[in-house]
Every structure is written in structure tokens, then in C-alpha cells.
Amino acid sequence: MDERRYQDRTEAGRALAQELASIPAENTVVYGLARGGVPVAVVVASELGCPLDALLVRKIGAPGNPELALGAITSYGGMTVNERVASGMNVSRDEIDRLAQKEREEAKTQERSIRGDNPAVSPEGRTVILVDDGLATGASMAAAVQAMREAAAARIIVAVPVASSQARDRVARLADEVHCLSTPASFSAVGQWYADFGQVSNDAVRRLIQSHPNG
């Protein structure tokens, strides 16, 4: 199994853009999962000549233990739930929905801050390419795929430089197409496959999104 390493997210974006070069730009939009997926996505969108937007995926924290993930949700919806955690903590569906709605509103607020004056790019009726810097569990990407389904995207393509085989298989069951350049047998974390895997700030994401031409 390929165990390719990348210098940084920009190099990973170039490699993904080559992989996706045959996808027509017409009626296609690229979404970077914020924050780490956006530096990868901006390269893909630029190389393909597609509009770019950010997609915020928020963790749904467990009551009394917010670091423990009950699931994930995006500003579009697309909720995923870890049923094992929810059952083990005896968290009701109503409580999960309440917590999820709070995180969805926070995701909307963050997205508006990132876009600034740029309008949101609608996925409705379009081919959507969802890009992240890698997949460990696939939970965030699963929520993103579900969100795009709910938003009536015509076709959903997941594109990542590296993933665990379990995460790749998880999203492959949900998306129309998956492009994963590497699924290392020795995968333990996304960051191990990058020489430079520095934290991506909100300001950096804002600059990338606002500087990309979406005309």
C-alpha cells in the first residue's frame, strides 16, 4: 500500500489536482473542510478552475464531557452520531439534536466570518468535490457528505491525500466517488504523513477563501 509523504498541504493539493484533472470544471465546486482542508482545497480549485468555499464541521460534544465526540455536524446539517458513545452515556436523541443545533449555528457563524463579503457557493445541482488534508476516522467527512446530500448536490466526490483504510471505506459507502492517494498500513494520524503539518489559523483560512476568484 502506498505510504507517500508530503512536504506540506500545498504539495498535497498539487498531487490531488493531478489526480482530479479529468473532472470538468463546469458546474463543479470545491469545498475545503476547515480548517486543515482549505490549504489543500485552494490548490485543487485553482488548478481545476473551480469555485471554492469552506465547509465547517463541528464536533458534537457529550454533555458534561465536551471533548468526547457524540458526533459531528456542518452548517448545512449532515449530522453523524456515534451511537456507541450516545448509548453508553444514555444521551437521548432530543438532547443530541439540541446539542447539534447549537454546533450548527456556531458553524454558520464561523463560515460567515471566513467568507467576509464573499457569497456562499451553493452545492445544489452541482458536482461537489470535498477536500480535506486527510482522514483518520472519517467522521467529519461523513458529516460533510451527508450535508451535501441534504443540500441537493448532483454528485459528491471526496478527495484526500491520505487516509486510514477504515476511514476511506467509511466515506466510500456514502460518496459517489473517492480519490484517496494513499492508505498506509502503518497509519496512526494524518500529521505523520506531512513534514510540515502546522496548525491552520482562522485568519489563514479567511485569506485563502477570500483571495480565490469565484467568478
pLDDT, tens digit, 9 for 90 and up, residues 134-186: 999 999 999 999 999 999 999 999 999 999 999 999 999 999 999 999 999 99
The string of pLDDT tens digits covering residues 181-201 is: 999 999 999 999 999 999 999
Confidence of residue 1 (pLDDT cuts 50, 70, 90): very low
Instruction: Judge whether 96 lies within some domain.
Output: yes
CATH number for the domain harbouring residue 14? 3.40.50.2020
What percentage of the chain carries pLDDT values higher than 90? 81
Q: CB within 8 A of 24, min separation 6: which ones? A: 127
In a domain, 103, yes or no: yes
Asked whether residue 2 is domain-assigned, the answer is no
Q: Taking the complete model, does pTM exceed 0.85, yes or no?
A: yes
Q: State mean pLDDT over 127-131.
A: 98
Any domain includes 156: yes
- Give a yes or no: residue 3 inside a domain: no
Q: Is residue 150 part of a domain?
A: yes
When divided into structural domains, the chain yields a total of: 1
Q: What is the pLDDT of residue 215?
A: 55
- Band (pLDDT 50/70/90 cuts) for residue 73 is very high
Whether 4 maps to a domain, the answer reads no
Report the C-alpha gap between 60 and 79 in whole angstroms.
9
Task: Give a three-class secondary structure readout of 134-147.
Answer: CECCCHHHHHHHHH
Query: Range of 54's domain?
Result: 9-211
